[in-house]
Amino acid sequence: MPPSKCQLCLTSRAILKRPKTSQQVCKACFFWVFEEEVHNTIVQADLFQKGDRVAIGASGGKDSTVLAHIMKTLNDRYDYGLDLFLLSIDEGITGYRDDSLETVKRNQVQYDLPLKILSYDELYGWTMDRIVETVGRKNNCTFCGVFRRQALDRGAAQLGVDHIVTGHNADDIAETVLMNIMRGDIARLARCTDIVTKGEDSIRRSKPFKYAYEKEIVMYAYFKRLDYFSTECIYSPDAYRGHARVFLKDLEAIRPSSIIDIIKSGETFVLAGEVKKGMKAQQTCLRCGYISSNDLCKACALLEGLEGGLNHKALKSTQKDTGLTEGHRVIPFFERRPAKSIALDREKAAASASASASAAEPDVVVRVEGLSVLG
Ligand code: SF4
Ligand code: ZN
């Protein structure tokens, strides 16, 4: 049987089958269609304005590495007029994050983007290694997720950026929809498919890969020979998410559109009036000034528990009001300089890159099976 022709250009030989659409395409058409779909997502959601300073949450993993590559490519191709930065968070995980940050430092040179690295140690006085020593491996990802979210906002404020983009892909979002349904977490269900969420002050967060399939991100990285880090975190990721992931992969194997279908379902959920009433108003943390629905933000509540050695209390206090005690040294959020007042030039950012280490979006286990690369 003669080799199949690409179903898009009808000229070149097809070398892969797109996981998202099952189309057989050539390499050039795959790159083009993948990039155009991300561009369409960006344009349709009106994500950026000309002149925006945008930080790319960079962990060195496949998603954020492909995101950095695509953001740079589209910014040049379509003249978005964005000032791009790499922003990494160093959780302090020896043998994992220190290695992945080396990848980010190489990406900084490869993509010629300034890099800012912020560590949990400098922000909170704790590394994940020490947290795991203290709380064990059961709830470590709860601490890590809460700290990372704040750390990204703080890093973005220090860079004076308007916007953070993260490499969350369609699989991540569909998993989150499933998890929120299974947990009955209505508040999160209502916002987990938003492509843009508002961070602290004017810092927006968005997900340009909202509709990009993980398998296609891996294919893109593979065929472009991008430099990324593929080892998993040494502290086991959220087991519950792992189950949602396996379930989603099973659904995808039967019907590839399942991922997009679940996202579309999530987008069309509407909150009923009485559920809305039960949701708490936002205020600011009495200790550090970060946005919070309680007197203490989640990070400060967790830090109080860590320093008091009461881990179960720390975990509970992320869900309810907490009394104040003296203690930890979290950097007050309100002490940061306002966005845009900081003129961090590329040289300064590049110099800061060599200083320490870091990472960005929540890590999820990456097991990509059944990639269809035609012979
Ligand atoms: Fe942090 Fe992710 Fe490791 Fe959990 S799996 S400790 S969230 S880096
Ligand atoms: Zn083609």
The token pair at 252 is 């995808």
| Closest C-alpha residue for ligand 1 atom 6 | 141
Task: Render the burial of 220-241: b for 16+ CB within 10 Å, e for the rest.
Answer: bbebbebebbeeebebebbeeb
Between the CA of 336 and the centroid of ligand 2 the distance, in Å, is 50
Q: According to the model, what pLDDT value does residue 368 have?
A: 39
How would DSSP label each residue in 233-255?
PSSPP-HHHHHHHHHHHHHHHH-
Q: According to the model, what pLDDT value does residue 281 have?
A: 72
Q: Is residue 87 part of a domain?
A: yes
Q: Is residue 320 part of a domain?
A: no
Task: Tell me: do 115 and 240 sit in the same domain.
Answer: yes
Q: Is residue 293 part of a domain?
A: no
pLDDT at 202 over 60: no
pLDDT, mean of residues 139-162: 91
Between the CA of 290 and the centroid of ligand 1 the distance, in Å, is 22
Residue 258 exposed, middle or buried by CB count within 10 Å (0-12, 13-18, 19+): middle
Query: Does the C-beta of 92 come closer than 6 Å to ligand 1?
Result: no
Query: Does the C-beta of 128 come closer than 6 Å to ligand 1?
Result: yes
Domains contained in the chain, number: 2
Q: According to the model, what pLDDT value does residue 349 have?
A: 35
Q: Which residue has the tokens 């007050």?
A: 332
Between the CA of 16 and the centroid of ligand 2 the distance, in Å, is 10
Task: Tell me: do 87 and 156 sit in the same domain.
Answer: yes
pLDDT at 280 over 80: no
Task: Tell me: do 17 and 102 sit in the same domain.
Answer: no
Q: Is residue 9 part of a domain?
A: yes
Q: Which residue has the tokens 């009808």?
A: 10
How would DSSP label each residue in 189-232?
HHHTT-SEEE-STT-EEE-TTTT--HHHHHHHHHHTT-----PP
pLDDT tens readout for residues 97-140? 988 999 999 999 999 999 999 999 999 999 999 999 998 888 88
Q: State if pTM tops 0.75.
A: yes
User: In which band, very low, low, confident or very high, does the pLDDT at 17 lie, cut at 50, 70 and 90?
Assistant: very high
The token pair at 52 is 């925006």
User: In which band, very low, low, confident or very high, does the pLDDT at 297 lie, cut at 50, 70 and 90?
Assistant: confident
On the CB side of 266, CA atoms within 13 Å amount to 32
Find all residues with CB under 8 Å of 21, minimum gap 6, and list them: 256
Task: Tell me: do 352 and 232 sit in the same domain.
Answer: yes
Task: Tell me: do 251 and 210 sit in the same domain.
Answer: yes
Domain extent at residue 26: 1-44
SS3 state at 75 = helix
From 63, 64, 91, 302, mutation site for ligand 1 pocket: most ligand atoms within 8 A of C-beta: 91
Task: Tell me: do 94 and 3 sit in the same domain.
Answer: no
Angle between helices 62-77 and 97-111 (to 10 degrees): 10
Query: Does the C-beta of 90 come closer than 6 Å to ligand 1?
Result: no
Nearest listed ligand to the Cα of residue 129: 1
User: In which band, very low, low, confident or very high, does the pLDDT at 320 lie, cut at 50, 70 and 90?
Assistant: very low
**Which has the higher per-residue pLDDT, 274 or 212?**
212
Task: Tell me: do 84 and 207 sit in the same domain.
Answer: yes
Q: Is residue 297 part of a domain?
A: no
| Segment holding 65, helix H or strand E | helix 62-77
pLDDT at 307 over 70: yes
**Which has the higher per-residue pLDDT, 12 or 359?**
12
Q: Are 361 and 59 in contact (CB under 8 A)?
A: yes
Q: Is residue 368 part of a domain?
A: no
pLDDT at 1 over 70: no
pLDDT, mean of residues 261-266: 95
